[in-house]
C-alpha cells in the first residue's frame, strides 16, 4: 500500500536554526547585529474598528464582479440590490427627461378622451338622436327663412342667458324647429331649459320648477332673523326680481358672513322645502361670491 506522505522536504529544527544563523548579519568585529527598531502593533481598539469598517456596507464602494472582501453573503446581496435599485432609478430619470415624452402623453390622453366621448355620444343618440356626433347640425335642415328667424332669436336669448353662446342656443332652437315645434314654442322651451340648466344662475322665483337638489342663485339678502339653534350661523330671506326664498347658513358649513342688504351669488346651494315652500341652504360644498365687494370706484 503506497503512502502519500512526503519526507524529502522535511527539515529538522536544528537545521532551521543553523540556516537562520548563517543568514544573520554581523558587524566588522564579528558580532551579530541586533535590530533594535521597535515593532509597531495595532491596539485592540484599532483592530476592532478595522473589522467594523471592513464589514460595514457603506464602506464597500468597490463592488466588482468578484466577492467583496470582508463582507458576508447577506451584506453582499444587500449591496448588489442597492446598486441595482440605483441603476433602475437612474434609468427612470433618464427616460422621464426624454424630449417630447410629456407631449406624447398629453396627445394620447386627449385621443382617449375623444374616443370615450364619441362612444358616449353614440350611446346617448339612442335616446336623443341629435346627440349622435355623426349627425349634421340641425340648422342645415332649415329653410333660409327659418334659419334667419332662428339666428335672430338665438341672438336675443344670448343676451339673457349668461354662459350660453349664440351658436349653442341656435343649435338648440334648430333641433326644436326640425323636431316639429313652431319657432315661438321652441324659443320658450329652450329658454326655460337653459335658464335652469346645471351651473346656471336661476331666478329665485323659478326654484320650485327646478328638478335638482343643488341650484345657483343670485340676489340680495333683505332680512336676517334670530337663529333658533346654535347650529345655525345665519337665517333670513334672499330675493331677486322674480321672487324671494328662505336662506340658511349652517355653522358647520363654514361659510363667510353675509351682511343684511348685501348682494350675493351662490353656487351649489342645497334646495329644500320649508313649510310647503322651497328654501335654500349653504353647505360645505357651496360657493358664495360677493359681486359688489371691493368696487372701489363706487366708494
pLDDT tens-digit map of 192-225? 777 777 777 888 988 888 888 888 899 999 999 9
CA angle (107 as vertex; 104, 112 as ends), nearest 5:
125
Instruction: Examine residue 245 and state whether it is found in any structural domain, yes or no.
Output: yes
Q: pTM here? A: 0.43
Q: Within this chain, do residues 122 and 190 fall inside the same structural domain, yes or no?
A: yes
Element (H, E) at 219: strand 214-225
Between residues 63 and 38, the one the model is more confident about: 38
Element (H, E) at 193: helix 183-195
241 is written with which cell numbers?
Answer: 326680481
User: Chain-wide mean pLDDT for the chain?
Assistant: 75
CA angle (105 as vertex; 101, 107 as ends), nearest 5:
115
Instruction: Examine residue 125 and state whether it is found in any structural domain, yes or no.
Output: yes
Question: Which whole number is the average pLDDT over 24-43?
Answer: 62
Q: Is the sign of the CA dihedral 228, 229, 234, 237 positive or negative?
A: negative
**Would the pLDDT of 238 be above 90?**
yes
Q: Within this chain, do residues 176 and 227 fall inside the same structural domain, yes or no?
A: no
**Would the pLDDT of 61 be above 50?**
no
Instruction: Examine residue 104 and state whether it is found in any structural domain, yes or no.
Output: no
Q: Within this chain, do residues 231 and 292 fall inside the same structural domain, yes or no?
A: yes
- CATH number, domain with residue 278: 2.40.50.140
Instruction: Examine residue 83 and state whether it is found in any structural domain, yes or no.
Output: no
Residue-wise pLDDT tens digits, 93-144: 655 555 556 666 677 777 777 777 667 666 655 555 545 555 677 788 888 8
Question: Which whole number is the average pLDDT over 47-64?
Answer: 56
20 is written with which cell numbers?
Answer: 537562520
**End-of-domain residue from the set 137, 167, 195:** 195
pLDDT on residue 130: 47
Eight-state DSSP code of residue 196 = T
Instruction: Examine residue 3 and state whether it is found in any structural domain, yes or no.
Output: no
Instruction: Examine residue 4 and state whether it is found in any structural domain, yes or no.
Output: no
**Would the pLDDT of 27 be above 70?**
no
Question: Which whole number is the average pLDDT over 233-249?
Answer: 93
| C-alpha dihedral, 258 to 260 to 264 to 269, nearest 10° | 70
Of 284, 222, 217, the C-alpha closest to 259 is 222
Q: Are 265 and 256 in contact (CB under 8 A)?
A: no
What do you get for the CA distance between the two ends of the chain, in Å? 124
Q: Within this chain, do residues 277 and 217 fall inside the same structural domain, yes or no?
A: yes
DSSP bridge pairs for 225:
235
Of 213, 144, 141, the C-alpha closest to 174 is 141
Of 162, 168, 172, the C-alpha closest to 199 is 162
Q: Within this chain, do residues 291 and 214 fall inside the same structural domain, yes or no?
A: yes
Instruction: Examine residue 250 and state whether it is found in any structural domain, yes or no.
Output: yes
**End-of-domain residue from the set 164, 195, 226:** 195
Counted domains in the chain:
2
Q: Which domain holds residue 157?
A: 113-195
pLDDT band with cut points at 50, 70 and 90 for residue 296: very low
Instruction: Examine residue 136 and state whether it is found in any structural domain, yes or no.
Output: yes
Q: Within this chain, do residues 216 and 292 fall inside the same structural domain, yes or no?
A: yes
Between residues 286 and 12, the one the model is more confident about: 286
Lowest mean pLDDT among 76-80, 183-187, 191-195, 248-252: 76-80
**End-of-domain residue from the set 138, 167, 195:** 195
Q: Within this chain, do residues 221 and 287 fall inside the same structural domain, yes or no?
A: yes
Amino acid at each position: 500500500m503506497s503512502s502519500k506522505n512526503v519526507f524529502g522536504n522535511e527539515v529538522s529544527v536544528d537545521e532551521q536554526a543553523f540556516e537562520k544563523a548563517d543568514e544573520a548579519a554581523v558587524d566588522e568585529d564579528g558580532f551579530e547585529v541586533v535590530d533594535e527598531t521597535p515593532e509597531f502593533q495595532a491596539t485592540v481598539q484599532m483592530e476592532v474598528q478595522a473589522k467594523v469598517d471592513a464589514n460595514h456596507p457603506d464602506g464597500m464602494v468597490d463592488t466588482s464582479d468578484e466577492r467583496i472582501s470582508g463582507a458576508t453573503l447577506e451584506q453582499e446581496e444587500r449591496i448588489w440590490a442597492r446598486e441595482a435599485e440605483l441603476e433602475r432609478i437612474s434609468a427612470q430619470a433618464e427616460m422621464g427627461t426624454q424630449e417630447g415624452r410629456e407631449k406624447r402623453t398629453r396627445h394620447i390622453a386627449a385621443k382617449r378622451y375623444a374616443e370615450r366621448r364619441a362612444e358616449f355620444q353614440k350611446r346617448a343618440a339612442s335616446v336623443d338622436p341629435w346627440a349622435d356626433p355623426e349627425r349634421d347640425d340641425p340648422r342645415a335642415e332649415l329653410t333660409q327663412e327659418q334659419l334667419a328667424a332662428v339666428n335672430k332669436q338665438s341672438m336675443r336669448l344670448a343676451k339673457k342667458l349668461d354662459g350660453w353662446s349664440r351658436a349653442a342656443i341656435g343649435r338648440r332652437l334648430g333641433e326644436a324647429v326640425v323636431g316639429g315645434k313652431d319657432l315661438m314654442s321652441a324659443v320658450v322651451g329652450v329658454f326655460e331649459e337653459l335658464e335652469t340648466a346645471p351651473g346656471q344662475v336661476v331666478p329665485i322665483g323659478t326654484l320650485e320648477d327646478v328638478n335638482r337638489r343643488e341650484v345657483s342663485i343670485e340676489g340680495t339678502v333683505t332680512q336676517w332673523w334670530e337663529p333658533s339653534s346654535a347650529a345655525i350661523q345665519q337665517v333670513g330671506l334672499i330675493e331677486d326680481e322674480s321672487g324671494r326664498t328662505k336662506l340658511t347658513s349652517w355653522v358647520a358649513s363654514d361659510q363667510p358672513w353675509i351682511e343684511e342688504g348685501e348682494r350675493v351669488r351662490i353656487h351649489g346651494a342645497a334646495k329644500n322645502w320649508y313649510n310647503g315652500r322651497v328654501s335654500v341652504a349653504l353647505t360645505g360644498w357651496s360657493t358664495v361670491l360677493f359681486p359688489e365687494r371691493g368696487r372701489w370706484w363706487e366708494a
